[in-house]
């Protein structure tokens, strides 16, 4: 091999130049992170069952999901967690298996076991992110109250950030989620002979629009629709629970219950030393470049700033840690290469031979970046 390289100088230089260019290209393509992602190859399955105790959820939801998901190919461990109103199942697969193939097989199994769950409970897949995927978190600053900030966050900011390439999930935190609250009077409910199930069914059926085809008159076709979407407290109070066709009267929700606009019961809080805050946490997809995703999130927030009439304040930004880590590693690599070249020159005392020997150091680094790109290894503190 050495004889071939010496006799065919042009081929040797062409191969070296090609590897150097490929290494430079790979260096720009390799995802850059601060620390390696050593989390498990797992798929998260969760289900909501509002109002139920952890014991009931564990017996009727978590246990059934964990039992049925154990038979998936490549499964190592299945862990369940039952909380008030929610169930979480963590399915851990072998490291050699593809994450999205695991998610596909898990989704197929969930479609088969849906009938085993209680009525109204639907199991869903969690975001395709890992435990190290939380890369950016921010709060909204401005004169609005926490309820208005949360409404802006849910309706404008979160949908816009989820459209950023590489973002797996945007989790809102803090604030008050607006909802219609119905406080039922048990005495009036019993006097009217109405059950709680009938009342809930009437409320579910009321908040929707329906179509009535069209009517043609004088050559003009007019579309007919019934508007039923709830837009105010009065609309909720006017929901008919039971009608009487013979007397032409009915029982409305406002006659047996008190309706008001309030906030959901909160089990958590986002705050600093001064006051309560409203914000969100951004998680990126697996094998995505954190620097590019964070840059995209910042750009989208900058585009939304005129419409939000509020400022964003980041309280966690991994790009700063990535920049500091890479600056430290890069400085150490430069010092190591310079020291090695100096040692070669001192020992050989021949500049041309020293240059030829020292070229192999940066060339080897560029080839290493090419191999890292081919095997999907990110440029982090450990790999560098």
pLDDT in tens, 160-216: 999 999 999 999 988 888 888 899 988 888 888 888 888 888 888 887 777 777 888
User: Is it the case that residue 69 has pLDDT exceeding 90?
Assistant: yes
Q: Containing H/E element for 163?
A: none
The answer to whether 68 and 113 have CB atoms below 8 angstroms apart is yes
Number of H-type helices and E-type strands within the chain: 15, 14
**CA gap 269, 173 in Å, rounded:** 7
pLDDT at 267 over 80: no
298 confidence band (pLDDT: 50, 70, 90): very high
Q: What is the dihedral of CA 338, 343, 346, 347, to 10 degrees?
A: -150
What's the pLDDT score for residue 62? 95
pLDDT in tens, 122-169: 999 999 888 788 899 998 888 888 888 888 889 899 999 999 999 999
| Cβ neighbours, 10 Å, residue 336 | 12
**pLDDT reading at 313 higher than 90:** no
Question: How many other β-carbons are positioned within 10 Å of the β-carbon of residue 281?
Answer: 18
In which band, very low, low, confident or very high, does the pLDDT at 286 lie, cut at 50, 70 and 90? confident
pLDDT band at 242; cut points 50, 70, 90: confident
Report the distance separating Cα 41 and Cα 92, nearest Å.
Answer: 6
Exposed, middle or buried by CB within 10 Å (0-12, 13-18, 19+), for 43?
buried
The model's confidence at residue 355, banded by pLDDT at 50, 70 and 90, is confident
Burial class (CB in 10 A: 0-12, 13-18, 19+), 364: exposed
CB 43 within 8 A of CB 104: no
Alpha-carbon distance 298 to 206, whole Å?
41
Other Cβ atoms less than 10 A from the Cβ of 95: the count is 9
Give the pLDDT confidence score for residue 92 in this predicted structure: 94
The answer to whether residues 179 and 264 touch, using CB atoms and an 8 Å cutoff, is yes
% of the chain beyond a pLDDT of 70 = 98
Q: pLDDT tens digit string along 35-52?
A: 888 888 999 999 999 889
Say how far apart CA 192 and CA 184 lie, in whole Å: 13
Look at residue 61 and tell me whether its pLDDT is greater than 80.
yes
pLDDT at 42 (0 to 100): 92
pLDDT number for residue 80: 94
What's the pLDDT at 66? Answer: 94
Question: Is a pLDDT exceeding 70 seen at residue 97?
Answer: yes
Q: Which of 135, 123, 163, 137 is nearest to 43 (CA)?
A: 123
Q: What is the DSSP string of 26-76?
A: HHHHS-B-SS------EEEEEEE-TT--HHHHIIIIIHHHHHHHTTSTTEE
> Residue 88: is its pLDDT beyond 90?
yes
- Angle, helices 360-374 vs 351-358, to 10°: value is 10
196 SS3 class: helix
- Residue 247 has a pLDDT of 52
pLDDT score of 229: 80
**Cα torsion for 318, 320, 321, 322, to the nearest 10°?**
80
CA distance 239 to 237: 6
- Does residue 82 or residue 51 have the better pLDDT? 82
Q: Which DSSP letter does residue 25 get?
A: H
For 2-24, what is each residue's pLDDT tens digit? 899 889 989 989 999 999 999 99
How confident is residue 244, by pLDDT bands cut at 50, 70 and 90?
A: low
Strand order in the sheet with 86-93: 75-83, 86-93, 42-48, 123-125
DSSP state of 156: I
Average pLDDT, the chain: 86
């Amino acid at each position: 091999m050495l004889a071939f390289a010496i006799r065919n100088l042009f081929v040797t230089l062409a191969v070296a130049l090609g590897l150097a260019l490929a290494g430079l290209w790979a260096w720009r393509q390799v995802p850059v992170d601060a620390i390696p992602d050593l989390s498990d190859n797992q798929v998260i399955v969760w289900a909501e069952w509002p109002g139920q105790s952890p014991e009931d959820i564990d017996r009727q939801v978590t246990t059934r999901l964990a039992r049925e998901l154990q038979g998936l190919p490549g499964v190592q461990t299945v862990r369940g967690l039952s909380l008030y109103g929610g169930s979480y199942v963590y399915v851990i697969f072998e490291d050699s298996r593809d994450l999205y193939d695991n998610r596909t097989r898990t989704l197929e199994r969930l479609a088969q076991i849906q009938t085993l769950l209680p009525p109204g409970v639907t199991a869903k897949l969690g975001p395709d992110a890992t435990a190290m995927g939380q890369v950016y978190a921010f709060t909204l600053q401005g004169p609005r109250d926490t309820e208005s900030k949360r409404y802006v966050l849910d309706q404008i900011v979160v949908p816009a950030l989820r459209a950023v390439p590489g973002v797996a999930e945007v989790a809102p935190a803090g604030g008050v989620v607006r909802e219609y609250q119905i406080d039922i009077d048990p005495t009036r409910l019993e006097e009217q002979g109405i059950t709680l199930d009938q009342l809930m069914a009437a409320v579910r059926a009321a908040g929707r629009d329906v179509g009535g085809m069209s009517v043609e008159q004088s050559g003009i076709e007019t579309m007919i629709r019934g508007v039923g979407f709830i837009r105010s407290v009065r609309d909720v109070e006017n929901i008919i629970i039971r009608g009487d066709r013979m007397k032409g009267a009915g029982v409305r929700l406002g006659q047996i219950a008190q309706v008001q606009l309030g906030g959901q019961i909160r089990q958590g809080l986002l705050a600093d030393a001064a006051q309560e805050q409203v914000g969100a946490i951004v998680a990126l997809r697996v094998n995505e470049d954190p620097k590019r995703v964070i840059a995209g999130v910042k750009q989208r927030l900058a585009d939304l700033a005129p419409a939000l009439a509020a400022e964003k304040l980041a309280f966690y930004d991994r790009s700063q840690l990535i920049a500091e880590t890479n600056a430290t590693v890069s400085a150490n690599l430069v010092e190591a290469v310079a020291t090695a070249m100096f040692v070669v020159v001192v020992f050989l005392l021949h500049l041309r031979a020293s240059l030829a020997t020292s070229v192999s150091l940066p060339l080897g680094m560029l080839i290493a970046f090419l191999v890292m790109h081919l095997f999907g290894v990110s440029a982090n503190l450990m790999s560098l």
